């Protein structure tokens, strides 16, 4: 049952072992309304209704189903699911005013209404296809431009509620899986380097070295004084350098600590496969080891479609609760999580036998 290790990753895009997903977000505001902080409740209601009516139009033009809701009316748990799948951002999650969301059925496109800005258009895809998401977001932006009256300044471009977005209103980001650079402590020196290019990197589930799952978001800090394509270009250049460095570091690390790393990978698999209770942070760390082992050719999941990063999202608390169909309402989340992972974790094809 031995397969060539290279096969599974040769089929993917060059940096998919590092780039988990990419995302484009455009911040837009409408004239005639104050920005978020000074918007009256009444105006907030009007704004949300007006923008939500755009759902029909976007559905017609994009030719796929969209879902629209008054976000502030959703239950806490539903909102938390949207937060965990990255469909909404934390600032809109906690807002009490009328807020709204238009979301494509596949959740790859979202329009947040009355968050920090009146409108935030976001497009996301797995792997690295920034060009694709950029063009989707741009197309929806054009549509909304024709339909609504954006607030725009000759000098400052798209006027946003925060100076961190003004100009293009664009934040483009890559979600990166960086176990080797994080563990090796190289992330802080990269952070310093990035500042020179106007880019930043932040932990997805917490700060710096402590981000569980070794997931980090690389994004542009600069939004004004350069064009959208300048922003995409600088990110693209840097992301491929970081990806190369991460992969090189993984291999070097493996060369130096072969048996240690193999032990860790198999041990992680064993725990995930047989544990009866798993905390979120531990589960994410263990899953990261599996992913690393897969990259290094130590283990190979029997299912080629197995997506570890998707699983990391599915074991977040609200997602997990939403998928739980059992009757026992008192059961601990850690037990549900362990059961869920046992069910989802594929068998492995062992490459190496001593």
Partner 1 sequence: MICDICRKNKATIIYTEVINGEKNQTCLCDECAVSMNLQGLGKNNKSDTPMGSILSGILSSYMERYIENKTSDNSSKAVCPTCGMSFSTFMRERLLGCPDCYSTFSVVIEKQLKSVQPGTSHVGKVPVNATVYELKKVEPGPEKVLKTQNGNTAPSSKTKSAGKTTDIGELRLQIKEAVQKEDFMLAAKLRDRIKELENTEKDKGPDVKKSKKSAKKPKNK
Nearest to 47 by CA among 63, 30, 72, 60: 30
Contacting range for partner 1; rule: CB under 8 A; set: 80-88, 181-189, 218-226, 345-353: 218-226
C-alpha–C-alpha distance, residues 217 and 309, integer Å: 14
Of 169 and 213, the one with the shorter C-beta distance to partner 1 is 169
Of 170 and 319, the one with the shorter C-beta distance to partner 1 is 170
CB 111 to partner 1: min, Å? 16
Of 116 and 247, the one with the shorter C-beta distance to partner 1 is 116
Contact call for residue 161 and partner 1 (CB under 8 A):
yes
Give the helix/strand (H/E) hosting 38.
none
Give the helix/strand (H/E) hosting 216.
strand 215-220
Of 37 and 256, the one with the shorter C-beta distance to partner 1 is 37
3-state SS class at 67? strand
User: End-to-end alpha-carbon separation of the chain, Å?
Assistant: 16
Of 74 and 224, the one with the shorter C-beta distance to partner 1 is 224
C-alpha–C-alpha distance, residues 89 and 142, integer Å: 23
Considering only 70, 224, 245, 318, the residue that binds partner 1 (CB under 8 A) is 224
Contact call for residue 241 and partner 1 (CB under 8 A):
no
CB 72 to partner 1: min, Å? 20
Considering only 150, 205, 232, 324, the residue that binds partner 1 (CB under 8 A) is 150
CB 238 to partner 1: min, Å? 15
Considering only 1, 10, 38, 76, the residue that binds partner 1 (CB under 8 A) is 38
Of 146 and 256, the one with the shorter C-beta distance to partner 1 is 146
Contact call for residue 219 and partner 1 (CB under 8 A):
no
Contact call for residue 155 and partner 1 (CB under 8 A):
yes
CB 208 to partner 1: min, Å? 21
Of 130 and 348, the one with the shorter C-beta distance to partner 1 is 130
C-alpha–C-alpha distance, residues 47 and 317, integer Å: 32
Dihedral sign for Cα atoms in the order 6, 8, 13, 18: negative
Contact call for residue 149 and partner 1 (CB under 8 A):
yes
C-beta neighbour count of 16 within 10 angstroms: 15
- Tokens representing 270 are 């064993």
- Backbone Cα Rg of the chain: 22
- x/- track of binding to partner 1 for residues 104-123 (CB under 8 A): ------------x-------
Contact call for residue 196 and partner 1 (CB under 8 A):
no
Nearest to 243 by CA among 127, 143, 145: 127
Considering only 16, 125, 129, 166, the residue that binds partner 1 (CB under 8 A) is 166
- CB-facing half-sphere around the CA of 343: CA atoms within 13 A: 12
Identify any residues that bridge with 200 across adjacent strands, giving them in sequence order.
219
CB 228 to partner 1: min, Å? 5
Contact call for residue 32 and partner 1 (CB under 8 A):
yes
Contact call for residue 350 and partner 1 (CB under 8 A):
no
Identify any residues that bridge with 28 across adjacent strands, giving them in sequence order.
119
C-beta neighbour count of 188 within 10 angstroms: 11
C-alpha–C-alpha distance, residues 5 and 8, integer Å: 7
Per the CB < 8 A criterion, the answer to whether 18 and 243 are in contact is yes
Contacting range for partner 1; rule: CB under 8 A; set: 10-18, 93-101, 138-146, 179-187: 138-146
Per the CB < 8 A criterion, the answer to whether 213 and 176 are in contact is no
Where does this chain bind partner 1 (CB under 8 A)?
29, 31-32, 34-38, 116, 138, 141-142, 145-146, 148-164, 166-168, 170, 198, 221-228
């Amino acid at each position: 049952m031995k397969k060539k290790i290279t096969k599974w990753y040769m089929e993917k895009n060059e940096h998919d072992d590092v780039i988990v997903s990419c995302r484009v977000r455009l911040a837009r505001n409408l004239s005639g309304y104050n920005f978020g902080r000074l918007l009256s409740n009444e105006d907030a209601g009007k704004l949300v209704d007006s923008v939500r009516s755009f759902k029909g139009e976007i559905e017609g033009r994009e030719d796929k189903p969209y879902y629209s809701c008054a976000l502030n009316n959703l239950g806490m748990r539903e909102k938390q699911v949207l937060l965990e799948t990255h469909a909404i951002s934390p600032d809109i999650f906690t807002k009490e005013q009328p807020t709204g969301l238009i979301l494509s059925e596949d959740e790859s496109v979202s329009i947040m209404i009355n968050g920090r800005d009146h409108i935030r258009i976001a497009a996301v895809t797995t792997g690295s296809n920034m060009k694709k998401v950029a063009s989707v977001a741009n197309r929806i932006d054009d549509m909304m431009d024709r339909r609504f009256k954006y607030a725009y300044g000759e000098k400052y471009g798209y006027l946003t509620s925060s100076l961190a977005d003004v100009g293009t209103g664009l934040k483009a980001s890559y979600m990166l899986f960086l176990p080797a650079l994080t563990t090796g402590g190289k992330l802080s020196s990269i952070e310093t380097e990035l500042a020179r290019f106007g880019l930043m990197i932040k932990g997805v589930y917490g700060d710096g070295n402590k981000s569980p799952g070794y997931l980090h978001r690389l994004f542009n800090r600069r939004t004004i004084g350069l064009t959208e394509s300048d922003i995409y270009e600088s990110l693209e250049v840097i992301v491929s350098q970081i990806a190369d460095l991460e992969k090189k570091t993984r291999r070097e690390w493996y060369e130096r600590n072969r048996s240690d790393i193999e032990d860790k990978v198999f041990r992680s698999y064993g725990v995930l496969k047989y544990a009866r209770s798993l905390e979120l942070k531990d589960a994410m760390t263990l899953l990261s080891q599996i992913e690393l082992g897969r990259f290094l050719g130590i283990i190979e999941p029997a299912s080629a479609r197995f997506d570890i990063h998707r699983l990391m999202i599915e074991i977040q608390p609200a997602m997990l609760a939403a998928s739980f169909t059992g009757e026992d309402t008192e059961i601990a989340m850690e037990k549900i999580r362990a059961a869920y992972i046992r069910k989802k974790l594929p068998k492995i094809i062992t490459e190496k036998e001593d």
